[in-house]
Structure 1
Amino acid sequence: MKLLSIRVYSGRNIYSHWPVVRADVDLGKYVDIPTCDIENFNERLLSMLPGLKKHKCSKGYINGFYERLERGTYLAHVMEHMALEIQNILGYDLKFGKTRYLRDDTVYFMVFSYINEIVGLESAKLAFDIIDSLLNNKEIDINERLFYIQTKANENELGPSTSAIVEEAQKRKIPTMRIGENSIVQLGYGKYHKKIQATMTDQTSCMSVDIACDKELTNYILRAHGLPAPEGKVVTTLDEAIVEAEKLGLPVVVKPYNGNQGKGVSLNLSSKLEIGRAFKIAKQYSDRILIEKFVDGKHYRIAVVGNEVIAASERIAAHVIGNGINTIKELIDIENRNPLRGEGHQKPLTKIKIDDVMLLILDKVKMNLTSIPKDGEIVYLRENDNLSTGGIAIDVTDDVHPNNIKLALRAAQIIGLDVAGIDITTKDISKSIVENDGVIIEVNACPGIRMHHYPSKGQPRNVAKAIVDLLFPPGAKHSIPVISVTGTNGKTTTTRMIAKILRSNNMTVGMTSTGGIYINDDLMVQGDTTGPRSAEVVLMDKNIDVAILETARGGIVNKGLGYDLADVGVITNIGDDHIGIDGINTLEDMADVKSLIVESVKPDGYSVINGDDIYAERIAKRARGNIIYFSQNPDNKLITQHKYNGKKAVYLKENIIYIFNGEKELPVINIENIPATFGGALEHNIENSLAAVAVSYGIGIDTTIISKGLSEFHTDATNNLGRFNVFEVADFKVIIDYGHNIGGYSRVLSGLKKMKINKLIGVIGVPGDRTDISILKVGELSGKSFDQVYIKEDKDLRDRKPGEVAELLRKGCMLGKLTDQQITIELDEKEALIKAMENAEAGDTIIVFYEDYQPLYDAIKDFKAKLTSDIINEIPAVVGKV
Structure 2
Amino acid sequence: MLALKPLALSFSVLARNDTNQPRSDPRRRRGTGGPRYGFGLRSPVVTFRHDAPACDIEDWQELDRLIGEISNEQFEWPKFDRRRFGSQASMRILLATSAIQNAAGLPVFEPGCICRSGLDRRVQAVVPVAEGRERIALRALRWSTRLIGQYIEFVAGGHTDWRHTANMRHELVRDFQRTAPAGQNTIHFLRAAHQRRIPYSIVYESCYRYGQGSGQQWLESTFTPNTSTLGVRLARNKQRCNRVLRASGLPVPDNVVANSEVDAHRAAQRMGYPVVVKPIDLDGGVGVGAGLETEEELSAAWQEARKHSENILVEKHAAGRDYRLTVFRGRLLWAIYREPGGVHGDGVSTIGQLLERLNSSPDRGDDKRSPLKRIAFDTEARLMLSRMGLDLDSVVEIGRFVPLRKASNTSRGGMPLAVNERVHPDNAELAVRAADAIRLDLAGIDLLIPDIGVSWRESSAAICEVNAQPQMGTTSQTHLFGVILDELFTNGNGACVPVYLILDRSRELTAGAALETELSRRGYRVGFVHRRGARISGIAVSKPGRPCALACQLITDRGIDALVVSIENPEDADNGLPGPEIAGLAVYDDNHDSRPRGLDRLLEMTIPMQPHRRVIVSENAAASLAESVRRFGGEPIHVGNNPNEVVTALLTDSPADYQSQPAGAVDSSGAA
Query: 1:179 is matched with which residue?
Result: 202
Deviation at 1:261, TM superposition (A): 2.5
1:608 aligns with 2:629: no
In 1: Cα distance, 2:346 partner to 2:332 partner: 39
Query: 1:352 is matched with which residue?
Result: 374
In 2: Cα distance, 1:426 partner to 1:132 partner: 59
Deviation at 1:210, TM superposition (A): 1.8
* Residue correspondence of structure 1 range 461-500 to structure 2 within 5 A: 462-473=479-490, 477-486=494-503, 494-499=511-516
1:286 aligns with 2:286: no
**1:439 is matched with which residue: 462, 471, 481?**
462
Can you list the C-alpha shifts for 1:423-455, whole angstroms capped at 9, x where unaligned? 10011112222332210111222323345xx43
Query: 1:13 is matched with which residue?
Result: 38
Query: 1:427 is matched with which residue?
Result: 450
Deviates more, 1:108-117 or 1:211-220: 108-117
In 2: Cα distance, 1:295 partner to 1:98 partner: 60
Deviation at 1:178, TM superposition (A): 3.0
SS at match of 1:23: strand
Query: 1:374 is matched with which residue?
Result: 395
In 2: Cα distance, 1:626 partner to 1:106 partner: 28
Deviation at 1:22, TM superposition (A): 3.3
Deviation at 1:47, TM superposition (A): 7.0
Contact 1:161 1:450 in 2 (8 A): yes
Deviation at 1:470, TM superposition (A): 3.3
Query: 1:519 is matched with which residue?
Result: 536
Query: 1:81 is matched with which residue?
Result: 92
**1:22 is matched with which residue: 26, 47, 50?**
47
Query: 1:210 is matched with which residue?
Result: 233
In 2: Cα distance, 1:526 partner to 1:336 partner: 59
Query: 2:338 is matched with which residue?
Result: 315
Contact 1:507 1:545 in 2 (8 A): yes
In 2: Cα distance, 1:93 partner to 1:188 partner: 17
Deviation at 1:478, TM superposition (A): 4.0
Query: 2:431 is matched with which residue?
Result: 408
Residues 566 and 211 from structure 1, CA distance in 2 versus in 1: closer, same or farther, beyond 3 angstroms? same
In 1: Cα distance, 2:367 partner to 2:234 partner: 26
Residues 528 and 214 from structure 1, CA distance in 2 versus in 1: closer, same or farther, beyond 3 angstroms? same
Find the structure with the greater CA-based Rg.
Answer: 1
Deviation at 1:138, TM superposition (A): 7.7
TM-score, structure 1 as length reference: 0.58
Contact 2:42 2:199 in 1 (8 A): no
SS at match of 2:458: coil
Query: 2:415 is matched with which residue?
Result: 392
In 1: Cα distance, 2:63 partner to 2:483 partner: 45
After superposition, the CA RMSD in angstroms is 4.7
SS at match of 1:528: coil
Query: 2:169 is matched with which residue?
Result: 145
Contact 1:319 1:381 in 2 (8 A): yes
SS at match of 1:434: helix
Residues 563 and 100 from structure 1, CA distance in 2 versus in 1: closer, same or farther, beyond 3 angstroms? closer
Contact 2:39 2:608 in 1 (8 A): no
SS at match of 2:448: strand
Contact 1:77 1:98 in 2 (8 A): no
SS at match of 1:375: coil
Residues 631 and 94 from structure 1, CA distance in 2 versus in 1: closer, same or farther, beyond 3 angstroms? closer
1:528 aligns with 2:545: yes
Residues 281 and 486 from structure 1, CA distance in 2 versus in 1: closer, same or farther, beyond 3 angstroms? farther
In 1: Cα distance, 2:55 partner to 2:636 partner: 46
**1:362 is matched with which residue: 369, 375, 382?**
382
Can you list the C-alpha shifts for 1:40-80, whole angstroms capped at 9, x where unaligned? xx99x9877765899xxxxxxx9xx9x99xxxx86x96465
Deviation at 1:557, TM superposition (A): 3.9
TM-score, structure 2 as length reference: 0.74
1:156 aligns with 2:180: yes
Identity of aligned residues (%): 23
Residues 369 and 547 from structure 1, CA distance in 2 versus in 1: closer, same or farther, beyond 3 angstroms? farther
Query: 1:636 is matched with which residue?
Result: none
1:127 aligns with 2:144: yes
Query: 1:594 is matched with which residue?
Result: 603
Query: 1:617 is matched with which residue?
Result: 626
Q: Give the partner amino acid of 2:440.
A: L
Name the structure with the higher helix share: 1
Query: 2:25 is matched with which residue?
Result: none
Contact 1:494 1:692 in 2 (8 A): yes
**1:543 is matched with which residue: 559, 566, 569?**
559
Residues 490 and 379 from structure 1, CA distance in 2 versus in 1: closer, same or farther, beyond 3 angstroms? farther
Contact 2:190 2:200 in 1 (8 A): no
Contact 2:98 2:128 in 1 (8 A): no
In 1: Cα distance, 2:176 partner to 2:38 partner: 25
Query: 1:642 is matched with which residue?
Result: none
**1:570 is matched with which residue: 575, 578, 586?**
586
Contact 2:385 2:391 in 1 (8 A): no
Query: 1:827 is matched with which residue?
Result: none
Q: Give the partner amino acid of 2:143.
A: L
In 2: Cα distance, 1:143 partner to 1:623 partner: 39
SS at match of 1:179: strand
In 2: Cα distance, 1:548 partner to 1:86 partner: 34
Deviation at 1:544, TM superposition (A): 2.0
Deviation at 1:337, TM superposition (A): 2.6
* Residue correspondence of structure 1 range 321-340 to structure 2 within 5 A: 321=344, 331-340=354-363
In 2: Cα distance, 1:491 partner to 1:201 partner: 43
In 2: Cα distance, 1:307 partner to 1:703 partner: 39
Contact 1:238 1:279 in 2 (8 A): yes
Deviation at 1:382, TM superposition (A): 2.9
Q: Relative contact order (C-alpha < 8 Å, sep 6+): which is higher?
A: 2
Residues 196 and 272 from structure 1, CA distance in 2 versus in 1: closer, same or farther, beyond 3 angstroms? same
Can you list the C-alpha shifts for 1:538-577, whole angstroms capped at 9, x where unaligned? 222112232222366346444x332133333332258544
Contact 1:485 1:491 in 2 (8 A): no
In 2: Cα distance, 1:86 partner to 1:329 partner: 39
Query: 1:708 is matched with which residue?
Result: none
Contact 2:98 2:127 in 1 (8 A): no
Residues 297 and 620 from structure 1, CA distance in 2 versus in 1: closer, same or farther, beyond 3 angstroms? same
Deviation at 1:206, TM superposition (A): 1.9
Deviates more, 1:107-116 or 1:253-262: 107-116
Q: Give the partner amino acid of 1:511.
A: F
Deviates more, 1:212-221 or 1:367-376: 367-376
In 2: Cα distance, 1:169 partner to 1:53 partner: 23
Residues 353 and 193 from structure 1, CA distance in 2 versus in 1: closer, same or farther, beyond 3 angstroms? same
Query: 1:585 is matched with which residue?
Result: none
Deviation at 1:378, TM superposition (A): 3.9
Contact 1:530 1:549 in 2 (8 A): yes
Can you list the C-alpha shifts for 1:675-720, whole angstroms capped at 9, x where unaligned? xxxxxxxxxxxx5x65456557866977899xxxxxxxxxxxxxxx
Contact 1:321 1:373 in 2 (8 A): no
In 1: Cα distance, 2:524 partner to 2:128 partner: 38
In 1: Cα distance, 2:445 partner to 2:68 partner: 50
Residues 115 and 212 from structure 1, CA distance in 2 versus in 1: closer, same or farther, beyond 3 angstroms? same
